[in-house]
Amino acid sequence: MLLEVNGLCVNYGRIEAIRDITFTVEEGEVVTLIGANGAGKTTTMKTVSGLRPVRAGTIRFDGQDITHMPPHQRPVLGISQSPEGRGCFPGMTVNENLDMGAYARKDRKTKAVAEDRDRVFSLFPRLQERMNQTAGTMSGGEQQMLAMGRALMARPRLLLLDEPSMGLAPKLIAQIFDIVTEINNQGTTVLLVEQNAAQALKRANRAYILETGEIVREGTGSALAADDAVKAAYLGGDI
């Protein structure tokens, strides 16, 4: 098992944001967390990447307990996140943002980094066209591509994608999810948080549904997409 989250509890002050959640991600999978705003999805992602402290429970990555590991050490193990809101460095160029993604790599001065940059450009040709443009002058869709490309520059075994379709036009949303599938086909395991439940379930091997900090349903992406209760709650009655 690549990622094992067991009995995880996370607080914001006295407010319990996540309550005793348990889930797994196997190597090679796309696993998605879906739920309404405030369900605890982004908190879960931040906790896996080390940005939120754990009150109770454990997080194991490839068998190693990383529950209290500092966040800057997790990319070295193979965990990389494309955050909600993209988080691009607005005054840096596309190339400079991609360089930041490779910062923790021990081989960052070798041709391997150049090869990974070429891989990012093959996935996102628009970034190659904009390589010397500052991120702050790019469209929302281009910034989303850059955030994902920057995360890939760490050469992760597990890519955490938090709301990659947020604020994007429908045509671009479909393109982004096609790229998520291609990233997975190339060998990167993906944990996806997404409010566009229809697209997320379509792409996921397995899915977990969060409500008010707890996992209330789990199953294969296709099974949950076909479930009438899930359709009514998250898919507008259809998918």
State the pTM of this model: 0.93
- 238: pLDDT strictly greater than 70: no
Distance CA 71, CA 173 (A): 29
Question: Which phi-psi region, left, alpha or beta, contains residue 223 (left: φ > 0; alpha: ψ -120 to 50)?
Answer: alpha
According to DSSP, the β-strands at 3-12 and 56-61 are: antiparallel
**Contact between residue 32 and residue 209 where contact means Cβ atoms under 8 Å apart:** no
Average pLDDT over residues 174-180: 93
- 239: pLDDT strictly greater than 50: no
Q: Going by C-beta distance under 8 Å and a sequence separation of 6 or more, which residues neighbour residue 131?
A: 93, 94, 95, 121
Residue 206 in any domain: the answer is yes
> In Å, how far are 27, 37, 76, 112 from 107, measured between CA atoms?
23, 39, 11, 7
Average pLDDT over residues 172-199: 94
Percentage of the chain exceeding pLDDT 90? 84
Residue 239 in any domain: the answer is no
pLDDT level of residue 236 (50, 70, 90 thresholds): low
Lowest mean pLDDT among 45-59, 68-82, 165-179: 165-179
Number of domains in the chain: 1
Domain that holds residue 44: 3-234
Percentage of the chain exceeding pLDDT 70? 98
- 178: pLDDT strictly greater than 80: yes
pLDDT level of residue 106 (50, 70, 90 thresholds): confident
pLDDT level of residue 111 (50, 70, 90 thresholds): confident
Question: Which phi-psi region, left, alpha or beta, contains residue 20 (left: φ > 0; alpha: ψ -120 to 50)?
Answer: left
The larger pLDDT score, comparing residue 239 to residue 57, is at 57
How far from the centroid of its chain's Cα atoms is residue 39's Cα? 16
Q: What is the CATH number of the domain that holds 207?
A: 3.40.50.300
Lowest mean pLDDT among 38-47, 103-112, 166-175, 198-207: 103-112
Closest CA to 191 of 59, 53, 13: 59
Which pLDDT tens digit goes with each residue over 120-173? 999 999 999 999 999 999 999 999 999 999 999 999 999 999 999 988 888 889
- 227: pLDDT strictly greater than 70: yes
pLDDT level of residue 81 (50, 70, 90 thresholds): very high
111 DSSP 8-state letter: H
